[in-house]
Structure 1
C-alpha cells in the first residue's frame, strides 16, 4: 500500500464522503445509488463539506433551518432520516443522520452497502455539535477518514485509537504526519506503523493482520521474516479497526525492479512460496467470485475456465503468495529490498509463479501506459507462449520446477481469475462498459480460446 494523502470525494451529496470513507472510484458507485434514493425522497441537496455527522434536529433549531428527509427503515428498528441544516444566510451548515430509536448509530441505508455503525457500548461520550466551527486542515484530515466531522467533549475517535494502541504497545505513540488512502489512515510511530480504518477498509485491515499471523506461524526464513511488517497489536475502537505493525526501513515506489533488487525479490518470492503449504485450490473459488461479480451472461464461461485451470494445475506446486507483488508495495534502500507491504489479498494455496507474473506484468505495462486487461492479452499471454524469460527461468530453477509454456498459460489464467476477483470486488469501473470490455471480456475470450474451455 503506497500511503499518500487524497482529497475527499465531492458530489451533490458530499456528506457521503464522511459517512462512508472510500476511494473516489468506490465513492462514485455509492453516490449513484444514494442519488436515486434521495431523488425518490425529494431531497434537494447542495454541494458543501459536512460540519455535523450525527445529531438531533432539535439540537440544531436554535441556530439553523432544518429539513428532515426520510430515507427508510433501519435494520435495527425505527426510521432513518437525513437532517439538513441551513443557517439564516441559506448556507448549509451540515448534515446529520438520525434513527428513531437511537441516535448513536448509523444504519445501512440501501442494499449492498455496509454503512458504519456506532458501537453502543463504546465509552466515548456523545458528540457536542458545533455548527460553523472552522478547523485546520491538520484537524480535518484524520476526522474525514474516520467519520468525524465533529469534536467530542473528551476525545476524538482517532485520539482514542492512538491511546488504545499505545496501551497495547506499552508506550505512548508519537505520530508523524498521518496520510490517508482509501479510508485508511497510515501514520508512522515510534518503531511501528499505525493503520486505522473504517467502512469498507475495515475488513481488509484485519484480514491482512490474520494473513501475517498465519505466515508468522509458518516460521519463514530470514529472507522473508526480516522483510515483513509483522503485527504488533490490533483491535477495534468504536467505528474504527486498527492495526499496529512493525515499521520497516526503506521507501516504496522504486522506478525499476532489476539488478540486485530483482535478485532480492526472487529470493523473497521463492522462500515465501515455500513458507505456505498447499491448501484448497484458489482457482475455482476465484472463478465463482468473478462469475458472480461479472456480467451474468458470461458466468458459465468463467466457471468453465475455473474448472479447466484447476484441472491443468492439479499437480502444480502451491504455496504462499502475496497477491499484489509490484514495485509500489516494495520498500527499498540503497537498491536493495528491505520490506514488502500491503498483505490484504495474500494467502496460501496459490500456484507458484503467480506473484512473479504480477511483478513482470506491471513492469511491462507501465512504460506503454496499457491498462491491465490489454497488457495481460498483448504482453503476458505472448510471454507465456514463449516460455517466459530468464527471470521466470531463474525462479523455477530455485524451486526445482520445470514450467513449460502450457503450465505458464495455466498459471496466467489463475492469475487473471485472482486479480479479476480482487478488481471486480473493489473497483467502480466494473460498472463501465469500456472497463468490462478490456479488463474482463477481452482476457476471458483469449483465455477460453487458448485453453479450449
Structure 2
C-alpha cells in the first residue's frame, strides 16, 4: 500500500499542528491507514495517513462535526492536511485501548449495541449515501443475498460504516470510545448492525451477537425486524476475503483469530443463516 513511514507521518503532523510531537508507538488493527500515537507535552493524539487521492479525511471531517452528542465517545478533530501528497488527519486520543483479549464478548456486544443506537440518532444529511446493495459478483452467496435485499428497510441513518470491535476503545470493561469515522455515511441501520454481529461471531460468540442486538433494540426503542436479511448481506460482502482480516484481529491482540479460524467460524455462521442453500 502507498503509505507514509511512521516518522514522516509524525513530522508532517507536527507541521500541521505547529508544534513538536514525539512518536509513542504505531497503532495496528486496520489496514487502510498508517496510524501512530504521538505525545504533545502530556497530551496524546492520534495521527493517520492515507494513500494519495483517498477521500477518507474529507469524509471523517464531515462526520466529526456531527458527533458532539456522543461526548467523549468520539475523538475531537485537531488538524488535517497533506503530507507529501498523503491526506493526514490528527485527532485527540480517546483514553483507553483495544478490548482486552480476555474481555467477555457478551460485555463487548452489549455496550457496542447501546452506543450504536446513539450513533444512529445523529444527523446523516449531506454524508455520502450508500445502501450497501449486494454486488452482482457476491460469490456463492449472490443469489441468497439478492433475495434478502428485497426484505430490508432502506431508511437512512448515520452509520459508522465499519462498526467492529477493532474500532472501539475500552477502559477495563467499559467502552470509552469509537474511532475511525472515515467510512461514516448515510445508510440503512442494518449495515452497522449486521457488520457488528458478524464481528462478534468471528470473535467466537453467537451469544454476544444476540446480546448486542437486544441492547441495540432496547436503546433505539425499536426492533430490527430485517436483521436476518442484513446478516446474509453482510456475509455475502465478507465471504470472498474474510481470511484477510487476520492481521486486523492480531492488531487488537487476538493472534489466535487467524485466517483458518476466521473461515471456520464464518462458514459455521453462514450455515446457521442459510444452511443447505449454500454450495
User: Would the TM-score normalized by the shorter structure come out above 0.5?
Assistant: yes
Give the match's secondary structure for 1:312: coil
Distance 2:202 2:28 in 1: 27
Structure 1 residues 410 and 367: alpha-carbon distance in aligned structure 2, compared to 1, 3 A threshold: closer
Match status 1:176 vs 2:63: no
Matched, 1:312 2:160: no
Task: Indicate how the Cα distance of structure 1 residues 236 and 263 shifts in structure 2: closer, same or farther if over 3 A, else same.
Answer: same
Structure of higher RCO (CA pairs closer than 8 Å, 6+ residues apart): 2
2:213 to 392, 395, 398: 392
Say if 2:72 is the partner of 1:212. no
8 Å contact from structure 1 (residues 209, 231) kept in 2 = no
- Cα gap change, 1:146 to 1:208, in 2 (>3 Å): closer
After superposition, the C-alpha distances for 1:227-269 in whole angstroms (9 at most, x for unaligned) are: 122432233322644321221111112322555x655433320
Aligned residue for 2:120, secondary structure, equals: helix
Which of 172, 186, 189 does residue 348 from structure 1 map onto?
186
In the alignment, which residue of structure 1 is the partner of 2:37? 187
Structure-to-structure mapping, 1:360-371, within 5 angstroms: 360-367=197-204
Instruction: Determine if the alignment matches structure 1 residue 414 to structure 2 residue 233.
Output: yes
Map 1:234-383 → 2, pairs under 5 A: 234-238=80-84, 240-254=86-100, 255-258=103-106, 264-277=111-124, 282-284=131-133, 286-288=134-136, 291=137, 302=142, 304-313=143-152, 315=153, 317-352=155-190, 354-367=191-204, 379=206
Q: Name the CA distance, whole Å, in 1 between partners of 2:15 and 2:92.
A: 16
| TM-aligned CA deviation for residue 365 of structure 1 | 4.1
| Partner Cα separation in structure 2 for residue 185 and residue 400 of structure 1 | 36
Asked whether the equivalents of residues 256 and 327 of structure 1 are also in contact (C-alpha less than 8 Å), the reply is: no
Report the CA distance between 1:179 and its aligned residue.
Answer: 5.1
1:412: how far off?
0.9
CA distance in 2, matches of 1:179, 1:358: 22
Q: Secondary structure at the match of 1:348?
A: strand
Q: Return the offset for 1:342.
A: 3.2
Instruction: Calculate the TM-score normalised by the size of structure 1.
Output: 0.45
Task: Give the aligned partner of residue 78 of structure 2.
Answer: 232
CA radius of gyration, larger in: 1
After superposition, the Cα gap between the structure-2 partners of 1:361 and 1:237, relative to the gap in structure 1 and judged at 3 Å, is: closer
Contact preservation (8 Å) 1:215, 1:276: no
What residue is the counterpart of 1:167 in the other structure?
15
Q: Normalised by the size of structure 2, how large is the TM-score? A: 0.68
Pair 1:394–1:226, CA change in 2 (3 A): same
**Could you say what secondary structure the match of 2:22 adopts?**
coil
Whole-Å separation in 2 of the counterparts to 1:180 and 1:411:
28
SS in 2 for 1:248: coil
Structure 1 gap segments, 5+ residues each: 1-19, 21-115, 117-144, 148-156, 369-378
**Residues 1:319 and 1:162: Cα distance change in structure 2 (over 3 Å):** same
User: Displacement, 1:272?
Assistant: 0.7
Q: Is the 8 A contact 2:202 2:265 kept in 1?
A: no
